[in-house]
Structures are given as C-alpha cells and as structure tokens.
Structure 1
Amino acid sequence: MKQPETTASTTAEAVQERMLRHDAFSQLLGLAVEQVGPGYCRLHFTVRPDMLNGFAVLHGGVTFAAADAAFACNSHGRQSVGLTVTIDYLEAGKLGDVITVDAREESLKHKVGVYQVRATNQHGVVLALFKGTAYRTSTEIL
C-alpha cells in the first residue's frame, strides 16, 4: 500500500533532518537542502577556495560528494545503500559559483531504486550528471 503524499513527505523531511544532523562531511561542504520529498532532493552550495583543485576549478570529489548527499534513496524511510554510481563531468565549476544539485527517483522497487542527479551552476549550465542505483534494506530509519 502506498503512503499518502503528506505522510511520505513528512518521512522524507524527517530522514533528511536526521541524516544532515549526523553528516559532518555535508556540513563541512556547506550543503544547504532546499527541498525534499519521496524520491527527491534539491540542495545547493557555494564553491569556496578550499574546494578547488590544482587547476583552480571545482574538484570533482566535491561535485561527487554533493551528488551523493542528494542521492534520495533513503527518502522513503528505509535504509538504503549505493550499489553502483557513475558520474559524468560536463563542465567545470568555478570559485563563487552556486551549485544546485537535483536528485530524482527514476524507479523504485522493493529492493532497488534508481536515481538521476544533476548538478548545475547559477546560470543553468549542467556541470555533472550522476546516476545511482541503491539497494533498499529492510531496516526502517525512523
């Protein structure tokens, strides 16, 4: 039986709040969640000098970490873990850019969920495309 939307949204918000409270790395990156829902997350961050690589562009690891943080596989209240993820880097982020990361669920089954994540800058330029497949455990988060 599918959860009513309000209950599902409340669950997604509670999961997000709990995860961020205990996620020191996301806090270190300055990730700010704008919106969450069942199978959805939008967050943003500003590119700082300590996020740049040796060529003065956004380090790919920062982009990957932000996409992984947005990966909305836990939003239904069941603990999930990434099975496989891939990322394509299309453009480089620059110092001062505001990066928005949108994660959307493409498929949700009993044990597997598939998610697409896009990272864009403040001009709407797509910097990276991330695809994640998650294994859904039977452990309830809340």
Structure 2
Amino acid sequence: MNSLPENHPTEAVKALMLESDSFSRWLGLQIDEVGPGYCRLHFTARPDMLNGFGALHGGVTFSAADSAFAFACNSHGRQSVGLTVTIDYLEAGRAGDVITVEAREESLKHKIGVYQVRAVNQNGAVLALFKGTAYRTSNEIL
C-alpha cells in the first residue's frame, strides 16, 4: 500500500475517528497506514494489559483488531458498523511485545463489507486472526 496525501478523504476520516476514539488512544494504538479498505496499526503490550497468567489479555487483542477493522471499513467515507466478528487466538502476546494489526478488505458491496485482520508480534508470530463483517449505513462521514 502506498501512503495517501494528507488531504485525501481517507486521511480526513482517520483524523475524525481518532479525535473521538479515546479508547484506541488509551490502548496506545499508533496508526501506521490507512487507505481505502485498509488499516495497519501497532501498539506495545503493557504490563497492565496482561491477564492473570502473564499473557496479553484477549480483550486487548480483540480491541486492537476491532479498531483496525473500524478504520478500514469506515475509510470509504460512509459510516459503517460491525455486524458480526470472530477471532481465533493462536499465540499469546507478552509484556513488551510490539503488536502489529493489519486489516484488509476482502469484499465491498453496497451495504456490506468483509474484512480480514491479522495481529502479529515483532517476531512475525501470528497472535490472532479476526474476521469482521460491517454494515455500511447511508450516512456520509464527511
């Protein structure tokens, strides 16, 4: 993917969403790249994100994947909401891991978009696979 100019509508949607998304900011999500139907972000797993066994809490992984899904499905400028999502956890993240989450659009129709999201650590180990289906409302974001 190539980076888009700062004035591209996708960049405006990203900025608008980030402005109001205090949860993604709290997670420490850094948006690396966004484009039509695409988002790549990363975050560092903090000690307060671990479960009782010292592994990255599944809710954190899910939330990061859900945020990437949201940026990707809203990138076309129509407000989209998740209809259904699933996640498979394959490996446990650990404190200090740098987790990269990448969402890719697999199908885009008038009212429905389908997205695949992968979460990997700094060593390339796949931590989770997430699939999201979004309903595309008629509300224009910009």
Q: Equivalents in 1 of 2:35, 2:120: separation in Å?
A: 20
- Give how far 1:12 is off: 1.5
Show CA shifts across 1:80-123 (max 9, x none): 00000000000000010000000000000000000000000000
Which range moved further: 87-96 or 13-22? Answer: 13-22
How far the C-alpha of 1:11 sits from its partner, in A, is: 1.6
Q: Could you tell me which amino acid in structure 2 is paired with residue 136 of structure 1?
A: R
In structure 1, C-alpha distance between the alignment counterparts of 2:46 and 2:98, rounded to whole Å: 10
Which residue in the other structure is 1:132 paired with?
A: 132
Aligned partners of 1:58 and 1:11: how far apart in 2? 34
Q: Does 1:37 align with 2:35?
A: yes
Aligned to 1:47: 45
Give the letter for the 1:28 counterpart.
Answer: W
Report the Cα distance in structure 1 between the residues aligned to 2:110 and 2:138, rounded to whole angstroms: 9
1:90 maps to a residue whose letter is L
CA distance in 2, matches of 1:110, 1:38: 15
TM-score with structure 1 setting the length = 0.93
Partner of 2:59: 61
Separation (CA, whole Å) in 2 of partners of 1:11 and 1:106: 21
Matched, 1:28 2:26: yes
Q: Distance in 2 between matches of 1:47 and 1:22?
A: 22
| Structure 1: unaligned runs, 5 residues or longer | 1-5
Q: Distance in 2 between matches of 1:125 and 1:19?
A: 29
Counterpart amino acid of residue 121 in structure 1 = N
TM-score (norm 2): 0.93
- Distance in 1 (CA, whole Å) between partners of 2:102 and 2:67 is 10
SS at match of 2:14: helix
User: In the aligned structure 2, how far is the partner of 1:115 from the partner of 1:12?
Assistant: 17
Q: How many residues align?
A: 136
